[in-house]
Amino acid sequence: MARIALVTGGIGGIGTSICTRLAKDGCTVIANHHPSEAAVAETWKKDREAEGFAIDTIAADVSSFEDSARMIKEITEKHGPVDVLINCAGITRDKTFKKMEHAQWDAVMRVNLDSVFNVTRNVWEGMLERGFGRIINISSVNGQRGQFGQANYSAAKAGMHGFTMALAQEGASKGVTVNTVSPGYVETAMTLAMDDTVRNSIISGVPMRRMAQPAEIAAAIAFLAGDESAYITGANLPVNGGLFMH
Ligand code: CAA
């Protein structure tokens, strides 16, 4: 039977590629989006249909525990229990720390890190009971090495991998794997929002001298989501063009 996959932030730059890749691999895919993006999500769904993908969408603010619980309940009733969860929802609020306001810290923590608890907590017990699950947390190279102007984002992204390593231990004997994928700079609206000079200087520091395509990130996620990756857990897979090696 087809695995049921939920991608938070599923209509975003990386999220879209993950959705289509998992659909190609035979999963029933549900793309989560923020409630404020209802109109965009409707167009997104039609665009995917035109490409031959039947991907359902669901609105929920994953920074809210209650809304995340409601989302999981609705998905379970409509499609069945979630087998594969990709925590991909994320935002940036870049500022040098001396200028960073509490609201910018808080927004990034809630969306990038709290969401991982909010959504995972609502699928976790079901995965343990059924003896199968794949949780993949989309972190960032900047959670591994830090980035000027991103004290909030780097902290949240590093936190995601701490969560991965702890939960991997709790799921290991139950068939549930938990892994992190840490993309480098990827061609999406998020990186396009950066100042051109800053972006070009970052690209010149990438050994491959280019940004990643979203599909190159999705390929790593599809690998970890597959049944054959059952023995990989607690890992942090970098997909960064050589930008950071450890
Ligand atoms: N190292 C050291 N100094 C740096 C620096 C760096 N990497 N980058 C900038 N600076 C310096 C500048 O030269 C400038 O110096 P002066 O004050 O002496 O002139 C100062 O820092 C910048 O000061 P500003 O007042 O302009 O700073 P700001 O608070 O307005 O913010 C910034 C600047 C928005 C953080 C900008 O530097 C920036 O956009 N940096 C890139 C952040 C980044 O990489 N974001 C990634 C977004 S994509 C993403 O997050 C996806 C992913 O996972 C990879």
Residue 193 makes CB contacts below 8 A (sequence gap 6+) with 92
Task: Output the residue whose Cα is nearest ligand 1's atom 1.
Answer: 148
Cα–Cα distance, 30 to 7 (Å, whole number): 6
Report mean pLDDT in 10-residue bins for the chain, 246 residues.
96 98 98 98 98 98 98 98 98 98 98 99 98 98 98 98 98 98 96 94 97 98 97 98 95
In this structure, what token pair is assigned to residue 93? 């609020």
- Establish how many alpha carbons lie within 13 A of residue 30's alpha carbon, considering only the half-sphere containing its beta carbon: 22
In this structure, what token pair is assigned to residue 245? 């090696």
pLDDT given at position 211? 97
Query: What predicted TM-score, i.e. pTM, was given to this entire model?
Result: 0.97
CB 137 within 8 A of CB 181: yes
pLDDT given at position 1? 79
pLDDT given at position 41? 98
Q: For ligand 1, is residue 240 a contact (CB within 6 Å)? A: no
Residue 113 makes CB contacts below 8 A (sequence gap 6+) with 156, 159, 160, 163
Taken in order of first residue, the domains within the chain and their CATH numbers are 4-232 (3.40.50.720)
DSSP 3-state of 184: coil
pLDDT given at position 237? 98
- Our answer to whether residue 185 is catalytic in this structure is no
pLDDT given at position 167? 98
pLDDT given at position 92? 97
Ligand 1 center–CA 154 separation, angstroms: 13
